Amino acid sequence: MEQRDLRNKPRPADAMEEELDERIVDIARVAKVVKGGRTFHFRVIAVVGDNKGQVGIGIGKAPRVPEAIAKATSRARKAMHAIPMVGTTVPHAITGRCGGAEIFIRPATPGTGVIAAGGVRAVLEAAGIRDVLTKSKGSSAPVNVVQATMDALDQLRSPEDVARDRGVPVEHVLPFWMRRKA
């Protein structure tokens, strides 16, 4: 009886998994041409974030959709890393590129919301960014759009780092609505 009670108690790993925000961005059927014809698999793009500044993306392929989803979410969990944020937005404007896709991300005042669509929205919301403006240019392929968004987020620098490099107070590099009025 003791062992059964221990098994039913939630483990810390289970609690951690429940807090993560998992989103499936795209499911596509892909074909590989072989000597005997075509073999079909499913490609899944998943985004996993904790809504507190950590996000990761993963791509999984398998003959069946559930297996592909499991692979993609597992890879996204392993790829999770922190991104700098200022309140509910990004610290500065940035452009990310991957293949033919180009994503421009710009900070926005509180209450603006996430002005984005598709894969860009999924990545930003999973990361916990609530106020941001985006523009997608070039290719609209979901894989490239998601990876370009992650490229942009990876390039972000915290206001403290920028202020230290420039030799100015942190208030000088914050967005204008966050600066104290003197």
The tens digit of pLDDT for each residue in 141-170 reads 999 999 999 999 999 999 999 999 999 988
Domain boundary among 29, 62, 81: 81
Domain boundary among 54, 81, 108: 81
Same domain, 71 and 96: no
Q: What is the 3 state secondary structure string of 37-78?
A: EEEEEEEEEEEEECCCCEEEEEEEEECCHHHHHHHHHHHHHH
Same domain, 103 and 156: yes
Domain residues for 24? 2-81
Contacts of 173 (CB under 8 A, 6+ apart): 91, 92, 159, 162, 163, 166
Q: What is the CATH number of the domain that holds 54?
A: 3.30.160.20
Residue 129 tokens, joined: 């960014």
DSSP 179: S
Domain boundary among 81, 107, 130: 81
pTM for the full predicted model: 0.85
> In the predicted model, what is the mean pLDDT of residues 92-96?
94
User: Do 90 and 149 touch, CB atoms closer than 8 A?
Assistant: no
* Count of the separate structural domains present in the chain: 2
SS3 139: coil
Same domain, 77 and 90: no
Same domain, 53 and 130: no
Rounded Cα gap, residues 47 and 146, in angstroms: 9
User: Is the four-CA dihedral 84, 86, 89, 94 of positive or negative sign?
Assistant: negative
> In the predicted model, what is the mean pLDDT of residues 54-66?
96
Same domain, 125 and 157: yes
pLDDT bucket at 94, cuts 50 / 70 / 90: very high
Q: What is the CATH number of the domain that holds 170?
A: 3.30.230.10
